[in-house]
Amino acid sequence: MLDDNARYMQYAIREAQYAQEAGEVPVGCVIVYDGQIIGKAHNQREMLQDPTAHAEILAITQAANKLGSWRLEETKLYVTLEPCPMCSGAIILARVPEVYFGAYDPKAGTVGSLMNLLEDPRFNHQPKVYPGLLADECGAMLTEFFRSIRRRSQDLC
């Protein structure tokens, strides 16, 4: 039986699957407040042709609209991939107190891989970070997605 955190990460994984089906990098995010999902999204950069359309940004916007406040205090954010600099900044600005992520991102992750923006004491807010939640499942989706892209590229050559 899954605990609540794993269950919410499963919802984020479902969002990542929607991204993959749409040809997007499979990253999904959900935001929980008082046991309810108040924001959920997946990457939509290609669909929207918007470099800021990351799962975290879209879910933060939904959650803020739902709460009627940009302060997402008392929420938990679940994302399948370690946040990038932009998303880490948005998490800090939204004052999200808890962040759970699946796979590490050695090329762009800023919650432990390249640096750790979320726990940097120079910012006015430092969320508690819980890395590696269902990391194997989250990482496998990304690995397979990029493997299939490489295969298609090789087939074109």
Q: Which of 15, 21, 24, 56 is catalytic?
A: 56
Q: How many helices (H) and strands (E) does the chain have?
A: 5, 5
137 is catalytic: no
- The greatest distance separating any two alpha carbons of the chain, rounded to the nearest whole angstrom, comes to 52
Strands across the sheet containing 98-103 = 36-42, 28-33, 75-81, 98-103, 128-130
Residues 119, 107: Cα–Cα separation, whole Å: 19
Q: What CA–CA distances, in Å, run from 25 to 48, 87, 94, 144?
A: 13, 15, 24, 11
**Beta-bridge partner residues of 40:** 30
Catalytic site positions:
56
